[in-house]
Structure 1
Amino acid sequence: MSQDATTPTVAEHPNTSAVLRISIIAAFGGFLFGYDSAVINGAVSAIQEEFGVSPGPLGFAVASALLGAAAGAFFGGRIADQLGRVPVMKIAAVLFLVSAIGCGVVDSFGWLIFWRIVGGVGVGVASIIAPAYIAEIAPAAVRGRLGSLQQMGIVLGIFVSLAVDAWLAALAGGSTQELWWGLEAWRWMFMAEAIPALAYLIGAFTIPESPRYLVEDGRPDEAQAVLANLQGSASATERVRLIKESLRSEHKPRLSDLKGRMAGLKPIVWVGIGLAALQQFVGINVIFYYSNVLWQSVGFTEADSFTITVITSVTNVAVTIVAIALVERVGRRRLLLIGSAGMALSLGTLSVLFATADVVDGAPVLGPTAGPVALVAANLFVVFFGVSWGPMMWVLLGEMFPNRIRGAALAVAGFVQWIANWLVTVTFPALAAFSLGVAYGLYTFFALVSLLFTLKMVRETTGIELEDMQD
């Protein structure tokens, strides 16, 4: 039986079970990241009906959480440096909790947007604090595998939220129908998030603070005790010494460190910004935020649309596992190239199908042949994205920057990623109302750009030590 990580004792060997338990709790922030991002999918049409909003404001409501996420990602690291990693996890959990309840009981469209932004701040904080904490707590031999729990948490969170949405809608007979206590099913979709948020909050009280933060905060004895329990007493003293040395040679990340000759920034920073933006500009989150509305708009029933969405999220989980298995053998850059080519083909197919579909009452309707082809193309898009740009963007951003600028560069790239996500999400309803063929044609264009960008700008990082990364 593993020992409790909160009461450190001397161990002769790494306490693998304790490290795994702690990493899973930390990665639960990734689960809530995915859950909160996708939960609105099943409620979009109900929100539009409930508050009588047009496509533009509806898109802003869906995307509003992403504005909070951008702020959370940009400032979360600085707050964690001041308060500690674990207190910030608790703050994120509380933000998820109050947002879930708030979204479920709102009586106005404006308050819905407010509570979505609150939850979005939690998403942004969780998106950076979990991988940072895991990297600082885990032994080097298992750091990569444990770090991948963040991405797995995200895709599992998306799957569970979409599955819960489908279950609640089926239970009530539709997302707009009353379910319990006089509240419609779409409200319970949001409030269901309170359960994993509460579990995350409780779990955060059972894990130790990061040894790196403890040393930085002037508590090296506590850091050594945590390391002794998790990694063995033999290495704990040496680890504390190395942490002290690294802190003496470092300064706080500064945006001024990113300055260079290429339009004011270092070339490697522009590569990170490009990766972050293109990951979103291919339109992946249209699938996870709007797929129910999309499939209903082209002729599928609400029940069938929920089923299709859940199948797509299962596909996303499966290909993420494949990506984790392939990343070291195939390489980051090669996976990006494969993914870009596959995304361009599948998105191009969707664009042609939507552009040539029969129009009934102002909306394209896919026929008996085009409908199944569109479903296959949409899921192939998810496959190619999930095995490449989904996880590889996060892997590369964590590896590609030199040590001295990593923190500041990650803050900028993370901010750009969430803003790009927001731009795609907020513009889709208006684009779709104009032409789904045009919308998916635009995403096809960015998939082709991502292919050229990878060929010209992205360097392979597989097998290169972090200390050897260059500007």
Structure 2
Amino acid sequence: MSYVYKITIVAAVGGLLFGYDTAVVAGAIGFIQQRFDLSPAMMGWIASCALVGCITGAMFAGYLSDRFGRKKILILSAILFAVSSVGTAMPHELSWFVVFRILGGLGIGIASMISPMYITECAPAAIRGRLVSINQFGIVTGILLIYFVNAGIAGLYDEAWNIHTGWRWMFGSGIIPSVVFFILLMFVPESPRWLIQAGKAKEAEEILTKINGAAKAKTELAEIEAAIHTETGTFAELFKPGLRTALIIGIILSIVSQVTGINAIMYYAPEIFKSTGDGSGSALLQTILVGVVNLLFTIVAIKYVDRAGRKGLLMAGSAGMAICLAIIGMAFHMDAVKGYLVLVAILAYIACFALSLGPLTFVVIAEIFPNRVRGRAMSICLFFLWASVYFVSQFFPMLLKSIGSAYTFWIFMGTSIVAFLFVWKLVPETKGKSLEEIEKSWHKTGTV
């Protein structure tokens, strides 16, 4: 069992880079805005331009991973992260900054899809939810880490230095985890399910034996081979009855996980806290609190996801998020943003997200699709996820300016209510089922 945890942790470093590279902009965006005198629309573009790469990376990662293997494409993402980290630290023109951020976005889009898929295809059914949630632990660790790095860099010198140079150091710091990820990937195996699909059953059996033991490995090998023989591996298969339902669930879950406002808070947290009257230094420290709460409650999700199940946690989290967003909106509406009310409500919102939509969206979409089409199906879902992130990140500053903070957060409250209703009515419970059992259930009944 220790073997599967080791390869899970390595794959989760891809999640760490995902979190690190997406959240670095939170500490830098205010300084970039002052350096280049950005309008709200341009501020949204600079914060969200990497998401263009994320969308593209997610679109093609499935096809590439189905053709070349999960491990090779993860290595590609590590290279893209490294190139982006160096490139964004160097240019003096925004156009080149945008180019390198989009390259980094390609790496994020790839890692956001391949890391949870790789873990899913290696994990025993009994602890699959926990192991895939470790990828989310990697994401929130990356977010928290870059919050500390951003605050440390911002505290080195004065505001003028941060506006001219400090933000470059923030982006450039990503080279270190990128190189670590690249090196660690040299020591993990390929996904056993992909190996079987590629006709390398002997190699797959060796890996399954290390994960499950010899007796269980032979049984699982036979189940995987039988499942693969019933699949065509084409996009058309996803639109057949049963799997069509799975695809719709995956797409909608991907969208609602993001339009509930999480990335607006993660990307713009320091700016939100500044709007309550705090200076940039205090706002960055409060942002670290956001990262700490995100990390702690992700650990809670990891502990309980295979015990409480996916559906219950998703419903509880989305309901809690709606309540917190209602409070945040009311605080801004009544001009009661001084003190700790907004901070506490935001932290509670983060806790609810970390318990539910944060880790469990990736758990569900990684386990509901058949082996041969899992890469392409997840690409479709992650395309919609990153398109939703882009939409929220691009328009959040403009919403704040046009309709105000209160109504902006109430919009997110409404989408959280939609998320609750969607999970309640449509998302199946998959805890404790093997990937092959989940697949058979779709084929037989159209539901799990």
Same fold (TM over 0.5): yes
Whole-angstrom distance in 2 between the partners of 1:346 and 1:284: 12
Q: Deviations over 1:35-69 (max 9, x none)?
A: 11111100001111222221101101211112211
CA contact (8 A) 2:59 2:379 kept: yes
Q: Deviations over 1:9-39 (max 9, x none)?
A: xxxxxxx333322221111101111111111
CA contact (8 A) 1:72 1:125 kept: yes
Note the C-alpha offset of 1:135.
2.8
Amino acid at match of 1:269: L
Whole-angstrom distance in 2 between the partners of 1:236 and 1:462: 21
- Match in the other structure for 1:5: none
Q: Deviations over 1:224-280 (max 9, x none)?
A: 44444554445555554444433333222415632669xxx9444333322211111
Q: How does 1:145-164 map to 2 (within 5 A)?
A: 145-164=130-149
Q: Structure 1 residues 458-467 or 62-71, which shifts more?
A: 458-467
- Match in the other structure for 2:22: 37
Whole-angstrom distance in 2 between the partners of 1:63 and 1:192: 19
Match of 1:210 among 191, 196, 205: 191
In the alignment, structure 1 residue 124 sits paired with structure 2 residue 109: yes
CA contact (8 A) 2:63 2:376 kept: no
Whole-angstrom distance in 2 between the partners of 1:206 and 1:400: 28
Change (3 A) 1:162 1:221: same
In the alignment, structure 1 residue 26 sits paired with structure 2 residue 11: yes
Amino acid at match of 2:69: G
Note the C-alpha offset of 1:137.
3.1
In the alignment, structure 1 residue 468 sits paired with structure 2 residue 437: no
Whole-angstrom distance in 2 between the partners of 1:331 and 1:23: 20
Whole-angstrom distance in 2 between the partners of 1:229 and 1:399: 21
Change (3 A) 1:151 1:278: same
Q: How does 1:123-202 map to 2 (within 5 A)?
A: 123-174=108-159, 176-177=160-161, 184-202=165-183
Match of 1:388 among 335, 348, 356: 356
Note the C-alpha offset of 1:403.
6.7
Whole-angstrom distance in 2 between the partners of 1:328 and 1:232: 21
In the alignment, structure 1 residue 422 sits paired with structure 2 residue 390: yes
Match of 2:68 among 83, 88, 105: 83
In the alignment, structure 1 residue 451 sits paired with structure 2 residue 420: yes
- Match in the other structure for 2:255: 277
Instruction: Report 1 or 2 for greater relative contact order, CA contacts < 8 Å, sequence distance ≥ 6.
Output: 2
Match of 1:316 among 282, 291, 294: 294
CA contact (8 A) 1:331 1:462 kept: yes
* RMSD value, Cα: 2.5
Note the C-alpha offset of 1:354.
1.5
Q: Deviations over 1:130-183 (max 9, x none)?
A: 122223334445444322211111111111111111111112334x5169xxx7
Change (3 A) 1:297 1:47: same
Whole-angstrom distance in 1 between the partners of 2:431 and 2:199: 35
SS of equivalent residue, structure 1 residue 177: helix
Note the C-alpha offset of 1:408.
4.3
Whole-angstrom distance in 2 between the partners of 1:356 and 1:41: 26
Whole-angstrom distance in 1 between the partners of 2:196 and 2:368: 26
- Match in the other structure for 1:257: 238
Whole-angstrom distance in 1 between the partners of 2:211 and 2:313: 34
If each structure's helix is expressed as a fraction of its own residues, which one has the higher value?
A: 2
Structure 1 unaligned segments of length 5 or more: list them.
1-15, 358-365
| TM-score, structure 1 normalization | 0.86
Q: Structure 1 residues 39-48 or 395-404, which shifts more?
A: 395-404
- Match in the other structure for 2:204: 223
Q: Deviations over 1:297-344 (max 9, x none)?
A: 231011110110000110011111112223344333232222222222
Change (3 A) 1:53 1:260: farther
Q: Structure 1 residues 103-112 or 248-257, which shifts more?
A: 248-257
CA contact (8 A) 1:99 1:116 kept: yes
SS of equivalent residue, structure 2 residue 189: coil
Match of 2:321 among 323, 343, 365: 343
| TM-score, structure 2 normalization | 0.90
Change (3 A) 1:139 1:462: closer
CA contact (8 A) 1:257 1:408 kept: no
Q: How does 1:290-439 map to 2 (within 5 A)?
A: 290-357=268-335, 370-401=338-369, 406-434=374-402, 435-439=404-408
CA contact (8 A) 1:19 1:138 kept: yes
Change (3 A) 1:446 1:235: closer
Percent identity between the aligned chains?
37
Tell me the matched-pair count. 439
Q: How does 1:81-120 map to 2 (within 5 A)?
A: 81-120=66-105
SS of equivalent residue, structure 1 residue 148: helix
Select the structure of larger CA radius of gyration.
Answer: 1
Whole-angstrom distance in 1 between the partners of 2:427 and 2:210: 40
Change (3 A) 1:50 1:326: same
Whole-angstrom distance in 1 between the partners of 2:370 and 2:66: 20
Q: Structure 1 residues 420-429 or 247-256, which shifts more?
A: 247-256
Whole-angstrom distance in 1 between the partners of 2:353 and 2:126: 28
Q: Deviations over 1:358-406 (max 9, x none)?
A: xxxxxxxx55xx4311111111111122212222222222344567865
CA contact (8 A) 1:138 1:146 kept: yes
Amino acid at match of 1:154: I
Whole-angstrom distance in 2 between the partners of 1:278 and 1:230: 34
Change (3 A) 1:442 1:27: same
SS of equivalent residue, structure 1 residue 106: coil
Change (3 A) 1:49 1:391: same
Structure 2 unaligned segments of length 5 or more: list them.
none
Whole-angstrom distance in 2 between the partners of 1:101 and 1:444: 38
Amino acid at match of 2:326: G
SS of equivalent residue, structure 2 residue 340: helix
